[in-house]
Structure 1
Amino acid sequence: MAEEQDRWRALALCLVAGAMTLLDVSIVNVALPTIRSGLHAGDATIQWVVAGYSLAFGVALVPAGRLGDARSRRQVFIVGVAVFTLASAACGAAQSPLWIALARVVQGAGGGLITPQVSGFIQNLFKGPERGRAFGLFGTTIGVSTALGPLLGGLLVQLGGSDFGWRLVFYVNAPIGLALVVLALRWLPRTERGPRQSLDPVGVLLFAASVVLVLLPVVEGKQGERLSQRPWWLLAVAAALLVGFWRWERHWDRRGRATLVDLALPRIRSYVFGLGLGTFYFAGFTSIFIILTLYLQTGLHYSALQAGATQVAFAVGSATSAYVAGGLVGRFGRWLAVTGLVMVAVALVGLDVVVPRVEGDVGLKLAPLLLLAGLGGGMVISPNITLSLDEVDPAKAGAGGGLLQTAQRTGSAIGVAVVLAQFFDQVGATRGDFGEAFSVALRTTLGLVLVALLIALVDLGRRAVRRDDQEPPRHLAGAHLT
């Protein structure tokens, strides 16, 4: 009984840390106008405040997961929380645009250290149906944190005023981070140390450089700049580096050394499909909140608090369905994600139809559609994490979870950059018609969600074909995945 209590207490601690890092993906959205005016920041700085965090987050995830697997997941978690907390305080104390941009990059790196340890702890501490419930709670945390971020940000901006409110958005992490460090020392289990393994420094450098080059064209953009004007040629260099990375990993493996990425992962189809689904879903999912916030605040002159409150319906729906879906993934498997993605797509079509025609209290009238999107989104995130990792060796859960999260963060950064560029370009072309700009950008998010739905349907068909021929994956023994 005591052991069970310790496991769930450790999970609660991990989820709070995960929520803190994910809140900072969306909490700054409603504070962007006051950051711009308070620091006299230009478009490039605002882009880096949003996307620079995702870039550093994405670069750190896989090396951090590998580090946790090879050394001590507990120690990496604590270091990550400390880095994130100090960087948050530095963001709050920023005196110039360059200061806050650099602090946000460091903050993202701290978040990247934390997140793969969370999925690694879940893989190691839970088995069977319990693991599904634990990942369900993790999925709930992801959905609620992302959706409630704007509301919390709005409350803090209103509480602190236009001059100090945006600083509170970052300072709020300081007491939470300090408490997490203290409790982590007491509650998180010490992982057993195996033989000391190489951290594959060459692989780390090649992988990090390729991720940076993938993300640079999308985060180094300015308001009004067309997508065609960005340095897309860097993607060719990134592709060459990824090829070099893969060849190096095979060479390193032949020498009997531990590689940064488990070379067996591409052969695990459940993992590959989950990776693709998560990438495209997060590319669309994250973008929705940013363009909705811009539409409400800049186009309709909502306050930060009003804009954030509009998204509560999504958070309620996401929290409810993610928790329930975590317990049902063993019975329904990929059907949950398919159903959820259909619900999200229907909600986005509804938003596209309603927004240009609605009058009066827009936020209240959008609530039913945002609730539907939240209910659908909660059915996607946690089941996908569970199904993606169910055949991954728990001893390599950190690196596997890190790569999964890297794909999601990369998808988020690319989706945000592309959708924001479309939004601002449309605002300029229509001379300030924010409703039309919202609809145009929303159609791109819908397209990304539909790609995720297609991947889910293909995986569903694959699982149906093999269902009668194979036993359930060994790490979800007793669950009947479809």
Structure 2
Amino acid sequence: MVLGAQFMALLDVFVVHVAAPTIRAEFGASGAQLQLVVAGYTVAYAILLITGARLGELLGHRRMWLAGLALFTAASLACGLAAGTGQLIAFRLVQGAGAALLIPQVLSLIQRNFTGEARVRALGAYSAVLAVGAVAGLVAGGLLVGADLFGLGWRPVFLVNVPIGAVLLVLGARVLPHDRPAGRARGLDLPGLVLFAAVVGLFTVPLVLGQEYDWPARTWFSLAAAAVLLGAFLAYEARLARRGGAPLIAPRVLRIPGMGTAVVRIALAMAVNAGCVFALTLHLQSGLGYGALRAGLMSLPTAVAFGVAGLTWRGLPERLRSRLVPGGFAVTALALLLCGVLLRDGDGGGPLLYPALAALGAGLAAAYSPALAGALATVRTEDAADASGLLVTVTQLGQIVGVAAFGALFLDRKEAFGPAGAAGAAGSAGAWWWVAAALAAASAAGALTGLVRKRS
């Protein structure tokens, strides 16, 4: 049930991509406004994730899960009824805030209510939801927009959340176990919240909007300011912990053996996954002329393989589990290179493309799922909220970086072919080849990270 709510919130990250052209046509939105409609949810979500995790600890994970789901459902209704672009942008921000309250509670509830092998199974299901939600958003968006239910155009992509959210609220109120909140025992680190929100905002906004404005100087200034404020945030948190306070992220969580390496692995895996989905979808639709539904269905082999591998990797012999993460990144790199070669000529890639996409999903699952499970395996119950908020934030930031960096590379390489080539299949295929090679390089870096840790 809690994973069902997470699936709905994750689906909304991707479903709006398919609806964006229809929204632009109805409201006459500018490119920047459309970018904010798409990105506003993600930015608000990333900024408030750790805050949501801490509020769950202070007020109770059950209570915050229900509150986040109620806010998300209400904001979905408001998005579906929006009368203009400005309203839609504002309600998308509220949607992201609701998701930020909702989603961190999922990992915390798993940590607090499952142990041993049951926890591993629950984390495998959590990983599978991450994969399926991305593709389901593209497919569902194509279906709902294409159906034009009751002449509502794009609006059902948001309105469909309302009955689902209402049912989950009723079930959650009856089924979720009551937990004992920490209350004022640890307090709320308000200066830390402000500093962290500033860091994430200054980091994510230029990444999301930089391509739209051709990377002006202010985007680089914003990224530099984010780096400076990150140093200030870490120094403040360490000083607060030494004084016996309650920092937003307990430094002891960052010192858990293997946590730093896991953060790097998770960020790389999510960046590769999101960057691949974004660039490949652009190539299939703008280059090969596929419809939104067909482009979404092309991602099914990747999603199914990710879900299956995420649920079954724990059944492998123990001697193989320690090699899964570097091996998964290596398989991902090879699969991406093969996808790049198959689509390089500007055609559909042939029947070999589908097993290559399936290998991509299996490799990503082998890289991500054991890294997540390993990072949480030694986390104490009292640190569950901090660890959950940290890892979910890293997952989200990895997706933002992947879309921004690899999406910018795709658009830049596509333009490099010139006006004529950029609009055709050949120019788009050339751009996709560049992105596939860059994604493979990032995956290879993940494999080397695993090997370095193994030697240590």
Give the TM-score taking structure 1 as reference length.
0.87
1:439 aligns with 2:433: yes
Sequence identity percentage: 36
Q: Which residue of 1 aligns with 2:131?
A: 143
The amino acid that maps onto 2:81 is A
Bigger RCO (CA 8 Å, 6+ sep): 1
Aligned equivalent of 2:147, options 159, 173, 177: 159
Write out aligned runs for 1:295-334 (5 A). Answer: 295-328=283-316, 332-334=320-322
Moved more, 243-252 or 107-116: 243-252
Q: Which residue of 2 aligns with 1:84?
A: 72
Q: Which residue of 2 aligns with 1:376?
A: 363
Q: SS in structure 2 opposite 1:95?
A: coil
Write out aligned runs for 1:260-271 (5 A). Answer: 260-271=248-259
Q: Which residue of 2 aligns with 1:407?
A: 394
Q: SS in structure 2 opposite 1:94?
A: coil
1:200 aligns with 2:194: no
How far did 1:80 drift?
Answer: 0.9
Task: Give the conservation status (yes or no) of the 8 Å contact 1:77–1:117.
Answer: yes
Q: SS in structure 1 opposite 2:154?
A: helix
Q: What is the alpha-carbon distance in structure 1 between the residues aligned to residue 318 and residue 98 of structure 2?
A: 33
Aligned equivalent of 2:41, options 53, 59, 72: 53
Task: Give the conservation status (yes or no) of the 8 Å contact 1:61–1:406.
Answer: yes
How far did 1:355 drift?
Answer: 0.6
Q: SS in structure 1 opposite 2:152?
A: helix
Q: What is the alpha-carbon distance in structure 1 between the residues aligned to residue 182 and residue 91 of structure 2?
A: 35
Q: Which residue of 1 aligns with 2:237?
A: 249
How far did 1:283 drift?
Answer: 1.4
Aligned equivalent of 1:395, options 373, 382, 389: 382
Q: RMSD value over aligned CA atoms? A: 2.2
Runs of 4+ in 1 over 3 A off after TM superposition: 161-165, 225-230, 326-334, 361-365
The amino acid that maps onto 1:104 is R
Q: Which residue of 2 aligns with 1:450?
A: 444
1:104 aligns with 2:92: yes
Q: What is the alpha-carbon distance in structure 1 between the residues aligned to residue 371 and residue 138 of structure 2?
A: 25
> Judging changes above 3 Å, is the alpha-carbon distance between structure 1 residues 162 and 228 closer, same or farther for their aligned structure 2 residues?
farther
Cα shift readout 1:216-236 (whole Å, capped 9, x = no counterpart)? 22122344x544655212223
The amino acid that maps onto 1:452 is G
> Judging changes above 3 Å, is the alpha-carbon distance between structure 1 residues 127 and 90 closer, same or farther for their aligned structure 2 residues?
same
Q: How many residues are paired up?
A: 448
Cα shift readout 1:410-469 (whole Å, capped 9, x = no counterpart)? 12112211222222222222122221122223333223322222222222333xxxxxxx
Q: What is the alpha-carbon distance in structure 2 between the residues aligned to residue 365 and residue 328 of structure 1?
A: 27
Moved more, 242-251 or 264-273: 242-251
Q: SS in structure 1 opposite 2:250?
A: coil
Q: What is the alpha-carbon distance in structure 1 between the residues aligned to residue 6 and residue 445 of structure 2?
A: 27
The amino acid that maps onto 1:324 is T
Task: Give the conservation status (yes or no) of the 8 Å contact 1:326–1:382.
Answer: no
> Judging changes above 3 Å, is the alpha-carbon distance between structure 1 residues 103 and 448 closer, same or farther for their aligned structure 2 residues?
farther
Task: Give the conservation status (yes or no) of the 8 Å contact 1:274–1:384.
Answer: yes
Moved more, 260-269 or 193-202: 193-202
Q: SS in structure 1 opposite 2:180?
A: coil
Task: Give the conservation status (yes or no) of the 8 Å contact 1:249–1:260.
Answer: yes
Task: Give the conservation status (yes or no) of the 8 Å contact 1:313–1:374.
Answer: yes
> Judging changes above 3 Å, is the alpha-carbon distance between structure 1 residues 210 and 305 closer, same or farther for their aligned structure 2 residues?
same
The amino acid that maps onto 1:449 is S
Q: Which residue of 1 aligns with 2:209?
A: 220
Q: Which residue of 1 aligns with 2:113?
A: 125
Task: Give the conservation status (yes or no) of the 8 Å contact 1:29–1:290.
Answer: no
How far did 1:16 drift?
Answer: 0.6
Q: What is the alpha-carbon distance in structure 1 between the residues aligned to residue 150 and residue 450 of structure 2?
A: 44
1:16 aligns with 2:10: no
Task: Give the conservation status (yes or no) of the 8 Å contact 1:83–1:106.
Answer: yes
How far did 1:84 drift?
Answer: 1.3
Q: What is the alpha-carbon distance in structure 2 between the residues aligned to residue 443 and residue 58 of structure 1?
A: 28
How far did 1:192 drift?
Answer: 1.9
Cα shift readout 1:206-260 (whole Å, capped 9, x = no counterpart)? 111111111122122344x544655212223222222222232233323433221
Task: Give the conservation status (yes or no) of the 8 Å contact 1:227–1:421.
Answer: no
Q: What is the alpha-carbon distance in structure 2 between the residues aligned to residue 341 and residue 451 of structure 1?
A: 8
Q: Which residue of 1 aligns with 2:165?
A: 177
